[in-house]
Chain A
């Protein structure tokens, strides 16, 4: 029992097993909801829902109006992507709690905060103009036979190399 706990819940799973599970789950998601896994559009919906709460409702010419996304009965706050995003966080929390690795992380220094905020803004902006993040554009884009998934993948490698060089220079 102890050994099983160690293997299944304590040590990281091999990439290929995780890959197979993720792709099966994505197939299940496509069948049940009609759309493969997306993440960032959920944050966009939340932002627009927030604007809507503030009384702003003219989204003419916006990403959502141009490319749609929400199905009938869904709102900016309550929709499939929102539920999935909350579920991902809940699942990750459950996983660290079971493996007894949960920990509140402290902020190291101001530099970490500055890098975090800048990186977050760039990622958020980039993900929307790229039609998704590494999940929506890459992980779901490629099996949807969309060319943009491959372009995204290639750009991600280039961006990763440049990003590591910047980190190496300023953060390490």
Chain B
């Protein structure tokens, strides 16, 4: 299991989502992606997209208006 980190501080929509999309494509099942963002829209759109893809995720507010999003890549065997 590998751990990847994405610094999305000071970036506006939809850059954090696009960055996550690109990064997740290169990752393997079980890998963990940690994103740091200060854009509250990311809390909505990244999480919505990740959820739709079926990956596992969680997020915490690490400071005033700053979040860390944890995404574990899940590959369904369809």
Contacts and interface: CB of A to CB of B under 8 A. Distances in A.
A125 B49 CA distance: 32
B17 to A, nearest CB: 9
Contacts, number: 40
Interface of A is mostly: loop
Contacts of A112: 10-11
28 contacts: A12-B40, A96-B40, A96-B65, A100-B64, A100-B65, A101-B40, A101-B61, A101-B64, A101-B65, A102-B64, A102-B65, A103-B64, A103-B65, A103-B66, A105-B10, A105-B38, A106-B9, A108-B10, A108-B11, A164-B14, A167-B15, A167-B18, A168-B18, A171-B15, A171-B18, A172-B15, A172-B19, A172-B22
Given A12-B44, A96-B40, A108-B9, 13 more contacts: A12-B43, A102-B64, A103-B64, A103-B65, A106-B10, A108-B10, A108-B11, A112-B10, A112-B11, A164-B18, A167-B18, A168-B18, A172-B19
Interface of B: 9-11, 14-15, 18-19, 22, 38, 40, 43-44, 61, 64-66
